[in-house]
Amino acid sequence: MPAELSPIDKAKFVAAKRATEFVEDGMKLGLGTGSTSAWMVRCLAERIREEGLRVTGVPTSTRTAELAASLGVPISTLDEVKWLDLTIDGADEFDPHLALIKGGGAALLQEKIVATASDQMIVIADAAKEVTQLGAFPLPVEVIPFGWQTTKALIEETLVSLDVMNRDCTLRMNGDRPLVTDEANFIIDLHLKRIGNPRQLALVLNQIPGVVENGLFIDICDIVVIGHGDGRVTVRDINQGTEGEDFVEFAPTDNIFADME
């Protein structure tokens, strides 16, 4: 099975595996959503099985909760644990300041709540997610279903005065129906191409009636772990101003693949 993984999946795996090395016994962890985070949950489960690591995970989506439970990772809710030591999650884009775009998996609301309720956030990503300026990936905005077309129009009107390259907005669909998030909301994707001032955009969007949250994560991420297809891993710490490179041996055990089709 390991030989069948593409270079990008290998990159995701080594980033996830390296990030789980930050996890210490007794920690309360935010568990992200997405393909890279799924690798992280598998690597975490392996440490639990092999080392007896004791952790409590707070999933950021129903599918992460289901995966964690199926692999034997103890899970709880944020209301029960109150505060987290660490959140490990992926990103759709990150810039040199570790500002992020998240929400490609439609879990941005729970992801942002969990990340901001943590002492530290580590982002795991393949090298393709690194950009000089955010915006090539569509920015997700979670909105309530009531009056969503009006909310969309207000977003488009607001974007006219902001430093973005494009202003196309689309409702995210699931087949022939609007995609519905875990919180029973809709997602409007903003195809901006370039975001000149992410901090300003994030603040302005959240003041529009009907908007629940946006996918810009500003001043939340502390460390990014960037995986490469050859096993190299770059660890960048924005607070310490450091960057180092490791090599993660790509040798997933059968346990990590045991429940994969």
| 175 annotated as a binding-site residue | no
| 229 annotated as a binding-site residue | no
Report d(CA 165, CA 184) in Å as an integer: 30
| 259 annotated as a binding-site residue | no
| 34 annotated as a binding-site residue | yes
| 152 annotated as a binding-site residue | no
| 20 annotated as a binding-site residue | no
Beta-sheet strand order (sheet of 139-143): 168-171, 186-191, 139-143, 211-214
> Catalytic: 111?
yes
| 90 annotated as a binding-site residue | yes
| 132 annotated as a binding-site residue | no
**Which segments of the chain are extended strands (E)?**
28-31, 56-59, 86-89, 93-94, 100-101, 121-126, 139-143, 168-171, 173-174, 177-178, 186-191, 211-214, 216-217, 223-227, 232-237, 242-247
| 176 annotated as a binding-site residue | no
Task: Tell me if residue 25 falls in helix, strand or coil.
Answer: coil
Report d(CA 7, CA 79) in Å as an integer: 38
Report d(CA 52, CA 58) in Å as an integer: 19
Instruction: State the DSSP string of 180-208.
Output: --TTS-EEEEEE-S-BS-HHHHHHHHTTS
Q: Which residue in the list 111, 142, 156, 183 is annotated as catalytic?
A: 111
| 89 annotated as a binding-site residue | yes
| 33 annotated as a binding-site residue | yes
Binding residues: 33-36, 89-92, 102-105, 129
Binding residues for substrate: 33-36, 89-92, 102-105, 129
Catalytic residues: 111
